[in-house]
Structure 1
Amino acid sequence: MTATTDERPDPDARGASVAAAERNKGQGMPGMDMPGGKASKFGPTVRRLASRLRPHRIAVATVLGLGAASVALSVSGPLLLGKATDVIFTGVLADWAGEPGGGIDFAALATVLAWVLGIYLCSALFGVTQGRILNRVVQRVVFRLRSDVENKLHRLPLRYTDGQPHGELLSRVTNDIDNVSTALQQTLSQLLTSLLTVIGVLVMMLTISPTLTLVALISIPLSGLVVAVIGSRAQKLHAKQWEHTGSINAHVAEAYSGHQIVRVFGRQADTAVEFDRRNEELYRAASGAQFLSGLMTPVIMGVSNVSYVVLAVIGGMRITSGTMTLGEVQAFIQYSRQFTQPLNQVASMAAVIQSGAASAERVFEILDVAEEMPDRPTAAAPAVGGRGRVEFERVSFSYDPDKPLIEDLSLVAEPGQTVAIVGPTGAGKTTLVNLIMRFYELNAGRITLDGVDITQLSRADLRSQIGMVLQDAWLFGGTIRDNLSYGRPDATEAEILAAARATSVDHFVRTLPDGYDTVIEEDSNNISAGERQLLTIARAFLAGPNLLILDEATSSVDTRTEAQVRQATAALRSSRTSFVIAHRLSTIRDADLILVMEDGRIVEQGTHDQLIDRHGAYHRLYHSQYTRPASDPA
């Protein structure tokens, strides 16, 4: 694509729909549910995130196997330690009773302890291997999620990105994905181990004493009730926390991008007040979410401690009655602690899990946005030897269905013609060229390029034939040479220099210390606005398109440079159709055709002299710029 700058339509042309979007920054596109109201989607979001593990089935199966082996070995340890206790206790009792050969059987005790040591070492080895594999799986899942979001952004319609505050969108792409990564990394391995531990411990407890097991299980519904009641409320606050994070990022990005305007108009205090308001909202949501999530652990610990006391009392009674040995009761109590420990761990991870789910939901919202209309499977090839004949055939378009903008518009731009489009702000001038680029799809009618309907072409083929330079010059991080060849990476050094000389870029570039190797800084602050615009013109010049679109392309250059650029673009336009949007009417006096637009309609068309002679809309525009208004009487 040879469009070289920010692809945004005229803000005034978008009407009330965009005004509403600006009033609701941070609230997403119309029709999209906000994160703050999505607590009911916790389950579906977690399942959708878990479904991204499917491509890693073998690794996940290996992790499950290693985890099961690690837990199986780990949970067998307390039972063996109970046997060691019985060896010691039996030996001590025999010694007290004065039985022959009484005393502790150290050989048997050493054997049991050696088995315990080996089991725990193997369990640790399996656990470390499981964690390493799972870590790689998690990072691949997050890697793919980032890639999917990045690719999705390139497929989103301009209508969506126009309606989104950039800071809010960036927050979802960066902060929220990072939070998902953190949540998966910190919780997935622990959740898996906890689940397997609960199953393994429960089996061992049932083996020792079904009666005591039933007593221990009483704590589960109580703990589950705590998680259900507190967790649902915490999830709502976590969702609002990340919503407010996006809102504050949008405010900071806006204030930073326009910090010069903020200072010029003395609005630092107002900006700070607005920041404090949004920061306070974030503080309340974050502190409430963390408090509720943190409340789960002490409550569940209290429930488990009560269960522990009850088990100790009943176990002591059963030792006294001779139905259980001391080692069995010791092992069972240790298992009961192991049984409640995973629940406590899950409770302690509740804040991370809920926060990660809220972030995942916001990321999935981007992935669920309807994409721009796909190219036709059998896209037509661009016309061979096409020179850029453009025809609008009864075209209708509107940003808002309730507010028509362009209706039943027809026009023809012949090859080599320079077509100038003028009119008041919001008349639809930029919209017209955006429709040629297929940044938006038509409501009715069609546009043809060299006789081929542009909807029959792939967007890549269409835009490869068009060079576009907008009023808001945009350069990328990199050298000046890289920026010039952005639309044509295979350009030779000689071609780059020729394009730079033709557009008056070469002169100022050679005054820079590093010449064409000068690195453009962030926001391009190391060169002037006029120089930035000259570079974007040279970039389009080098691409050599069949169709050229200039949207106020000379608005940031001085009069002398403008004359040079006009001479250069005249040579470029000689065999190509050119659409020129201009507010300064002096720049389009030599246009082959001037279109005067008002309210999305072409109200006049002709050459400069023809339109002046008609004393119509163009005549009024021209004289409003170049006729001195009469002074008011004193």
Structure 2
Amino acid sequence: MIKSWLQSYVYEPVLTKKDIKSSKKKKGARASNWRKVLGRIWKIVDEQRGLLVIVLLMVILSSILSLLGPYLIGKIIDDHMMKGEYSGLKEMIFGLVLIYMGLSISIFLQNYWMIGVAQHTVYQMRTGLFSKLQQLPIAFFDKRQHGELMSRMTNDMDNISSTLNSTFIQVFSSVLTLVGTVVVMLTMSPFLTFLTMLIIPIMFISTRWITRRTGKLFKTQQQALGALNGMIEETISGQRVVKAFSQEQRMIDEFTEKSGYLRRVGYWANVYSGAIPKTMNLLNNSSFAIVAGVGGLLALKGYVSIGTIVVFAEYTRQFTRPLNDLSNQFNNVLSAIAGAERVFAIMDEEEEQDQGKNEAKHTIQGDVKFEDVSFRYDVEEDAPTISHINFHIQKGQTAALVGSTGAGKTTIMQLLARFYDSQQGKILIDDRPIQTMSRQNLRSQMAFVLQEPFLFEATVKDNIRYGQLQATDEEIIDAAKKANAHDFIMSLPNGYDTFLTADGGEISQGQKQLLSIARALVANPSILLLDEATSSIDTVTELAIQEALERLMKGRTSLVIAHRLNTVRTADLILVMEEGQLVESGMREKLIAKKGIFYQMLQQSTL
């Protein structure tokens, strides 16, 4: 029964002998990483140097006052109470009250100001992390769960914040109190000080044994929490798919497995970390008992005074308390370091390389060429995703990309927008390699209308304005009218000021698409990238969208992933993709006459 209970909590990959041996081998590297992480945090903390100095002065003051209190109590006992001398006793008691009032005030002020330092530090880190995420390439987000990234932004940051709020003051205060207490104790009784010191080696050995295990567990706990958050975010976002395919139980089972793993890791992390204060309390009480017993015998023989024993017993508490606090804070530091390490890992990711980022903005005409372009998402893969692609779309033309799923159509769009850069060949716009253009300049003159439009939690007006932040209200309304969206917008409760929740849950799929077209229109782009968005829309809405798309594409270079025959009929150029290769290209009539792959697609009604 006991074995079964243990097996329900022990998760072998967490604490196997192999893991322990591995952690011993990597001990030096891990310590070096901790120092590096702490050094980076300190650089941000140091920005608040002035406030930090005030906090440290308050800590020094509180440490001095905490030492003066017991000393004054001893003087009251020896000089007044034991001798029956009450002259000046009121003044001593009043002084004692002032000391403890000053101690309380200094502790309040140091905590108050330290919270400001901690919040500024976390603000800087959170802002830096969010800014970094905006600079990372699309490939980074394609390989990671969004919920896991959100966990770094929230849970890991909260860990760092709570640790900074308390740990910095606690560590500095504990060190000062420890040093001050030892000095005062030595002046009072070196022998009793020696007895008190006997617990230090035991404390050190026990704490070291425990923390060697908690470090790995806290890091694993943060990783498990990030994975669980990623799964939750993914499940909530895909709730319609989960219900449509009746996969509720499978998702519950998967969640139970991940949550169970987090429970087991968290269980052992807290079991080990929780053992520290219990061990320290045992050693504290043992030390107190030894000092009280031996001190009592010494007092009976007249070697020390009663006041000295009382003061020494209090100082023994003050001596062991900082050691206990330092041990407890060490667990918090381990957890915060694990979180900070995950945050800094993102901040150290390589940003998008932009050779032309300093160029002056110039207007793109829209002449597009692919010359022998090959690309693979994973450079270690043998087969490229697309291979030796060549085509030319003249300014103002519409090119339709057709082909089966996985043929490489979306990849071509992503390369043109420089979400990825090709490993071979050239992509030119207006006879200029796009690698020499600023990504911001390039994308600011492109517009995207995707099959699954995305709307922000904002007003209808702000969602359209996202295409051009400087657009006036009149320009937004004009774009909405051209997109056939104005009528349905005016039927909403507050018209253009209607607030949409996350991803526009209050409106239909077709209405979302009309808003995304209006967003593209207000951007007034030179090049359009369209993943034709009428495949899951009713017939009436499809006609409205098709009409809006025709207005949007007029006079602009357009690259369209075609799902419907209508788009193919009106295209100036058809590009037929198959298994990453461009197998046919040309006008519709020419390809039909050729009776090749495109002709077969028409015969099989795959368009």
TM, length-normalised to structure 2:
0.90
Shift of 1:217: 1.7
Aligned to 2:296: 316
Aligned to 1:542: 522
Aligned length: 579
Q: In 1, Cα distance between the equivalents of 2:333 and 2:38?
A: 9
Shift of 1:626: 6.2
Aligned to 2:162: 182
Contact 1:537/1:553 (CA < 8 Å) preserved in 2?
no
Aligned to 2:17: none
Aligned to 1:302: 282
Aligned to 1:601: 581
Pair 154,81 (structure 1): closer, same or farther in 2 beyond 3 Å:
same
Relative contact order higher in (CA < 8 Å, ≥ 6 apart): 1
1:287-336 deviations in Å (ceiling 9; x for gaps):
21111111111111111222222222332343345443222232222111
Aligned to 2:450: 470
Contact 1:39/1:232 (CA < 8 Å) preserved in 2?
no
Pair 413,247 (structure 1): closer, same or farther in 2 beyond 3 Å:
same
Aligned to 2:63: 71
Letter in 2 for 1:51: K
Contact 1:382/1:452 (CA < 8 Å) preserved in 2?
no
Aligned to 1:191: 171
Residue 160 (1) aligns with residue 152 (2): no
Aligned to 2:462: 482
**144, 166, 174: which one aligns with 2:124:** 144
Matches within 5 A, 1:354-433: 354-376=334-356, 378-379=358-359, 381-383=361-363, 386-401=364-379, 402=381, 403-433=383-413
Shift of 1:535: 1.0
Q: In 1, Cα distance between the equivalents of 2:499 and 2:102?
A: 56
Letter in 1 for 2:42: A
Contact 1:195/1:342 (CA < 8 Å) preserved in 2?
yes
**453, 456, 478: which one aligns with 1:498:** 478
Shift of 1:221: 2.0
Q: Secondary structure at the match of 1:445?
A: strand
Q: Secondary structure at the match of 2:415?
A: helix
Q: Secondary structure at the match of 2:196?
A: helix
Q: In 1, Cα distance between the equivalents of 2:472 and 2:35?
A: 56
Coordinate RMSD, CA, aligned: 2.3
Residue 343 (1) aligns with residue 335 (2): no
Q: In 2, Cα distance between the equivalents of 1:572 and 1:290?
A: 59
Aligned to 2:498: 518
Pair 448,512 (structure 1): closer, same or farther in 2 beyond 3 Å:
same
Shift of 1:280: 1.2
Contact 2:74/2:310 (CA < 8 Å) preserved in 1?
yes
Aligned to 2:203: 223
Q: In 2, Cα distance between the equivalents of 1:555 and 1:544?
A: 25
Letter in 2 for 1:56: Q
Letter in 1 for 2:558: S
Q: In 2, Cα distance between the equivalents of 1:557 and 1:484?
A: 21
Q: Secondary structure at the match of 2:246?
A: coil
Moved more, 202-211 or 284-293: 202-211
1:21-42 deviations in Å (ceiling 9; x for gaps):
xxxxxxxxxxxx99xx997644
Shift of 1:43: 4.8
Contact 2:69/2:99 (CA < 8 Å) preserved in 1?
yes
**116, 120, 129: which one aligns with 2:100:** 120
Shift of 1:63: 1.3
Letter in 2 for 1:399: Y
Q: In 1, Cα distance between the equivalents of 2:356 and 2:179?
A: 54
Aligned to 1:562: 542
Letter in 2 for 1:606: G
Residue 239 (1) aligns with residue 219 (2): yes
Q: In 2, Cα distance between the equivalents of 1:261 and 1:395?
A: 36
Pair 374,328 (structure 1): closer, same or farther in 2 beyond 3 Å:
farther
Shift of 1:124: 2.5
Q: In 2, Cα distance between the equivalents of 1:174 and 1:349?
A: 21
Letter in 1 for 2:46: R
Aligned to 2:437: 457
Aligned to 1:106: 86
Letter in 1 for 2:76: A
Q: In 2, Cα distance between the equivalents of 1:467 and 1:112?
A: 80
Shift of 1:611: 0.7
Contact 2:449/2:516 (CA < 8 Å) preserved in 1?
yes
Letter in 2 for 1:281: Y
Contact 2:574/2:587 (CA < 8 Å) preserved in 1?
yes
Q: Secondary structure at the match of 1:371?
A: coil
Letter in 2 for 1:400: D
Aligned to 1:45: 37
Shift of 1:143: 0.9
Q: In 2, Cα distance between the equivalents of 1:482 and 1:521?
A: 12
Shift of 1:47: 4.0
Pair 605,573 (structure 1): closer, same or farther in 2 beyond 3 Å:
same
Residue 54 (1) aligns with residue 46 (2): yes
Aligned to 2:76: 84
Q: Secondary structure at the match of 2:216?
A: helix
Shift of 1:592: 0.9
1:79-130 deviations in Å (ceiling 9; x for gaps):
1211111113541xxxxxxxxxxxx221232333233222222232222221
Q: In 2, Cα distance between the equivalents of 1:90 and 1:499?
A: 93
TM, length-normalised to structure 1:
0.86
Pair 428,78 (structure 1): closer, same or farther in 2 beyond 3 Å:
same
Contact 2:151/2:226 (CA < 8 Å) preserved in 1?
yes
Letter in 2 for 1:200: G
Segments of 5+ residues of structure 2 without an aligned counterpart are: 1-21
Letter in 2 for 1:504: N
Letter in 1 for 2:374: S
Q: In 2, Cα distance between the equivalents of 1:223 and 1:375?
A: 57
Q: Secondary structure at the match of 1:62?
A: helix
Shift of 1:199: 1.8
Shift of 1:387: 1.9
Residue 619 (1) aligns with residue 595 (2): no
Percent of pairs identical after alignment? 37
Letter in 1 for 2:436: Q
Q: In 2, Cα distance between the equivalents of 1:90 and 1:410?
A: 102
Shift of 1:601: 2.0
Shift of 1:523: 3.1
1:127-172 deviations in Å (ceiling 9; x for gaps):
2221111110001111111101111110111111011112222222
